[in-house]
Structure 1
Amino acid sequence: MTFAQQCNRIFDETVALYHLTDDVDFKPQNPYSANDPAHTLFAKNWIDAVQWHLEDIIRDPEIDPVEALALKRRIDRSNQERTDMVEEIDTYFLEKYAGVTPLPDASINTESPAWAIDRLSILALKIYHMKAETERTDASEQHLAKCRAKLDVLLTQREDLTAAIDRLIDDIAAGRKFMKVYRQMKMYNDPSTNPVLYAGK
């Protein structure tokens, strides 16, 4: 099984595990050892699953404004955690292939392996929920047909992205591509770079 295929397996299992409780406050036990990249993949997808449902909740037109603000702050924290975990996955690849000498004609990719894997994680959630839409008994046939067509596209997208990620990893290992990771440097979360935060000092 390739690395990207392992990601898909972990993400699908994690999404299914989340939906056993469907509780944004449930804290699961990570089934993987801390030094295994699968540990970070599980934790990252769990955060994605929770955030997916927080985004649903916050769109309730009847939501209490105070609760909505608390949810918005929680989503902001979640986004920062997701970013940190993506960078942790990229660090794994940087260290793993640190000894590879890029070929003279080696090129850089438009995104790092981890940011592509981040898209796989979100795709696992899209596929799960779109599949659920195709199984609704309270929806019209038109809705079901539309969702089946979308599900087909999502499955094809995952197949293509999985192959592209594995090619990228193979290219990095062989020196045909090289990694150059730019950290996200989110300014709005940093009290020293967000004018609204540092202006009040």
Structure 2
Amino acid sequence: MDFCEKAWKIFDQSISDYHVKDDVDSEVNNPFENGSLEHLLYAKNWIDTVQWHLEDIIRDENINPVEALKIKRRIDSSNQKRTDLVEFIDSWFLQKHINITPNSDAKINTETPAWAVDRLSILALKVYHMALEANRESATEEHRVKCTEKLNVLLEQKKDLCEAVNQLIFDIESGKVKMKVYKQMKMYNDESLNPVLYQNQKNG
């Protein structure tokens, strides 16, 4: 089983586990050993899955504005956790390949393995929910046909992305690509970098 196939299987398990209760407040019960790559991948997708449904909820036109603001704050917090976990996964890859010396002509990829995994995790959610729509009995036949067409495109995208992710990891392991990681340095949650936040502190 290659890396992408393994990751996709874990994402599927996370998504299925979430939809047992289908509740954004459900507690995560990660079945994998703490510190393992499997544990990190499951945790990553669980965050994505909860956030997916929070994004659905906040788009309800009849939502209470106070509740919407609470959910927006929760989404912001989720985004930060998602970013932190992606960087943690990249740290796992860095540690795994610490003894590999890149070739003198090694290239630098535009994204790291973990950010490619981030895209794969979101794609797994798109496939899951588009498949639901393609088979939803309460929808029109036209809707189901259109969603089936979209699902086929997503599955083709999965094939291409998996090939790219596996190739990236192979190139890192063979020294063809030099893995270099930069922290995201998100500014909007930082009280010392977001002007609105530090002005509020000053005025307070």
The two structures share one fold, judged by TM-score above 0.5: yes
Aligned to 1:30: 30
Partner of residue 144, structure 2: 144
* CA RMSD between the two structures: 0.7
1:71 aligned counterpart, secondary structure = helix
**Which residue of structure 1 lines up, in the alignment, with residue 67 of structure 2?**
67
SS in 2 for 1:76: helix
**CA offsets, 1:152-186, max 9 Å, x none?**
01011111111110110010001000111111100
Is 1:81 aligned to residue 72 of structure 2? Answer: no
Which deviations, in whole Å up to 9, do the C-alpha atoms of 1:35-67 show, x marking residues without a partner?
211111111100100000000000000000000
Alignment of 1:1-201 (within 5 A): 1-200=1-200, 201=202
The letter of the residue matching 1:100 is I
Between the aligned partners of 1:136 and 1:175, the Cα distance in structure 2 is: 47
**1:139 Cα deviation (Å)?**
1.3
Can you give the 5+ residue segments of structure 1 that lack an aligned partner in the other structure? none
Report deviation, 1:127.
Answer: 0.4
Measured against aligned partners, the alpha-carbon deviations of 1:66-118 in whole angstroms (never above 9, x if no partner) come to 00000000000000000000000100111111111111111000100000000
- Segments of 5+ residues of structure 2 without an aligned counterpart are none
Letter in 2 for 1:88: F
TM-score, normalised by the number of residues in structure 1: 0.98
Distance 1:179 1:190 in 2: 27
TM-score, normalised to structure 2, is 0.97
Q: Which portions of structure 1, spanning 4 or more consecutive aligned residues, are displaced by more than 6 angstroms?
A: none
Q: Which amino acid aligns with 1:117?
A: V
Q: Secondary structure at the match of 1:103?
A: coil
Deviation at 1:137, TM superposition (A): 1.2
Distance 2:118 2:139 in 1: 31
Q: Distance in 2 between matches of 1:14 and 1:71?
A: 22
Give identity over the alignment, percent. Answer: 59
The number of equivalent residue pairs is: 201
